[in-house]
Amino acid sequence: MLELKESGKFDGENGSGLRKGYQKELERILDLKLPGHSLKEKPHIESCCKLLKKQYHAIYDARNSGETSGFGWDDEKKCVTADIDVWSAYLKTHPDNSFMRNRSFPYYDKLAIIWGQDRATGKNAEAPVDMLENIIREENLDEENEASNGEEDVEPRRDQPIRDNSQGEGSSKKTHRKRRRSTDSLVSCLERITEKLTEGFEKSNEQMAKVAESIIAPNQKESENRQKLDEELCKLTFLTQAERIRAGIKLVNNPNYLEYFFTLKDADKEEYLKQI
């Protein structure tokens, strides 16, 4: 899915999600990479994609929604963290989301690239066209209020004679003021739209930087662990050369095993290597 997203061929509208037909393309890719597999677009790939999307949105909302609080994120274990009381209260209203508790979600950062825009541009987002319409509506309302106030201010007294030439001058001045207000309103609209778009781009850049960092950091750590692995295994004197090589192959082929290995004390590593 990430390959399809990054290729741009199946990128969703406004960068959100994936375009219709991507599940059929996934089936085609699997045919090429895993000949003889029995996975089909329906029901296998479709149900799997729905489950991943549902789980990603549930985790994202728990971490970022204003309706929930007390949740954290363990970036090393890739799992949601919270106190027992927080979990108990949350699961009462979200019983279907019990999968999040005490469970790692290693593909969260990659799924954020695919579906993150769905949540980043939620129901409260305002499109530029809507923004322009709202601003113009506000400006027109201000003009109507000003016109109403102006008419009250220039109303002549009953005992004051009205001169014909003053009507022409007043009409000309009023037209000039209206044109000037229209120009000022347009400039104001453009300035406010530019300001709002700039804010949106800055927030988007910040989100993309966080996503990039969350992808690069784990890969960098895994690379460092690979480089240090042989040195660490050589410290374990209870291993023969053949055992050390076999252990190295297992750890390198499983990033989770490798990561956990470096969290253990030397005294526990022997038993751990026996278990795997």
Per DSSP, the residues of 184-208 read: HHHHHHHHHHHHHHHHHHHHHHHHH
pLDDT(252) > 60: yes
Residue 99: predicted pLDDT: 86
Cis? peptide before 43, omega within 30° of 0: yes
pTM over 0.85: no
Question: Do the domain assignments include residue 266?
Answer: no
Same-domain pairing of 112 and 151: no
Query: Domain count of the chain?
Result: 2
Same-domain pairing of 38 and 113: yes
Question: Do the domain assignments include residue 199?
Answer: yes
Same-domain pairing of 77 and 109: yes
Same-domain pairing of 135 and 85: no
| Higher per-residue pLDDT: 162 or 254 | 254
Task: Tell me the sheet residues that pair with 208.
Answer: none
Model confidence pLDDT, tens digit, residues 103-129: 888 888 888 887 776 555 444 444 455
Range of the domain at 115: 2-120
Burial of 156 (0-12, 13-18, 19+ CB in 10 A): exposed
Same-domain pairing of 93 and 177: no
Model confidence pLDDT, tens digit, residues 34-60: 777 677 878 788 888 888 888 888 888
Model confidence pLDDT, tens digit, residues 209-230: 666 565 555 567 777 888 888 8
Same-domain pairing of 134 and 175: yes
